[in-house]
Amino acid sequence: MLQLSDAALNGLKQYFESNEKAPVRVFVAQSCSGASLALGLDQVRDGDKSFDFDGDITVVVDEELIEQAQPVTIDMGPMGFEVKSSLEFPQDGGCGCSSCGTGSCSSGSCH
């Protein structure tokens, strides 16, 4: 249902060595290129599904979202944490970000 790679688990443990520990939430984030799944620190809420990893890291996801998105995988990539799922989000063709130059993002994202 929700998988956390060893690299992501180690990355979260390292982060919490110098930061206050809190549940990590998987949520739908909106950006100029459309929606995607992202991570943030939060608290457990009613209607959440909670996943514990290595007795040390808690990941929470809204029950409705996890049902639609499963399987969800959290991994580490070159730019940090990556959240992948079965959900396909439509991407806006012209995101309007100034960093895109022409006003459309052929890669589907603006950085």
pLDDT by residue (tens digit) across 4-21? 999 999 999 999 999 999
For the chain, the structural domain boundaries read 2-89
- pLDDT band, residue 92 (cuts 50/70/90): low
Over residues 24-81, the pLDDT tens digits come to 999 999 888 788 999 999 999 999 999 999 988 999 999 999 999 999 999 999 999 9
- What distances in angstroms separate CA 77 from CA 27, 60, 73, 87, 109, one per listed residue? 18, 21, 12, 19, 16
- pLDDT band, residue 89 (cuts 50/70/90): confident
Q: What is the pTM of this model?
A: 0.78
Is the domain spanning 2-89 CATH 1.10.10.10? The answer is no
